Amino acid sequence: MTFTKDNPEQALQSFRKLNVDDQLALLWFIYTKMGDSITPAAPGRAGIDIAEALFDRIKGMSHDEQLQVQRDFLSNADTELSREYGSLSDNTKLLLWYRLAQGMESATIVPMPPNYELNGEAKSLLAAVEGMEFEQQITFLRSSVEPTGAEPRSGAEI
């Protein structure tokens, strides 16, 4: 499939069709490409604290568990952690992904297997995202993580 940078909706649909591991790998590669252009602007103190608290809990897990947790987030698995994550705003979710990616760089979070290659569909999606303006990239990422995580139990609004 080909994408145009003027069609973010198509990119989003394509992201949602990827399996969870391909989504994780794609997010990782987007992170490595965006790198320094991501400058955490406070999404609100409560958001930062919650993202940081979730990050700390994930950091304390084994690598296998860390991977599972991230798969759970993207597959809307109904776990306690995934419900907490699911109650976050899009920006706070992105902040957590950003922290996880940073953790991967310092190997406190399970790193990518060496020489990992994206499959064809994920690869063309990465190229499409690379071709987007920064603001569009953020919009794409926000929309990508927006439906992730489990439905919070009623009353949990953070």
- Positions in the binding site for ligand 45D (CB under 6 A): 21, 24-25, 27-28, 30-31, 34, 38, 40-41, 43, 67, 70, 91, 94-95, 97-98, 100-101, 104, 110, 112-113, 116, 138, 141
- Minimum CB distance to ligand 45D, residue 153 (Å): 25
Closer CB to ligand 45D, 15 or 98, in the complex: 98
Q: How far apart are CA 11 and CA 59, in angstroms?
A: 31
Q: How far apart are CA 143 and CA 78, in angstroms?
A: 20
- Minimum CB distance to ligand 45D, residue 155 (Å): 26
Closer CB to ligand 45D, 111 or 152, in the complex: 111
The answer to whether the beta carbons of residues 32 and 111 sit under 8 Å apart is no
- Minimum CB distance to ligand 45D, residue 110 (Å): 5
- Minimum CB distance to ligand 45D, residue 140 (Å): 10
Closer CB to ligand 45D, 147 or 153, in the complex: 147
Q: How far apart are CA 78 and CA 32, in angstroms?
A: 29
Sequential DSSP letters for 95-149: HHHHHHHHHHHTTSS-PPPTT----HHHHHHHHHHHTS-HHHHHHHHHHHHTT-S
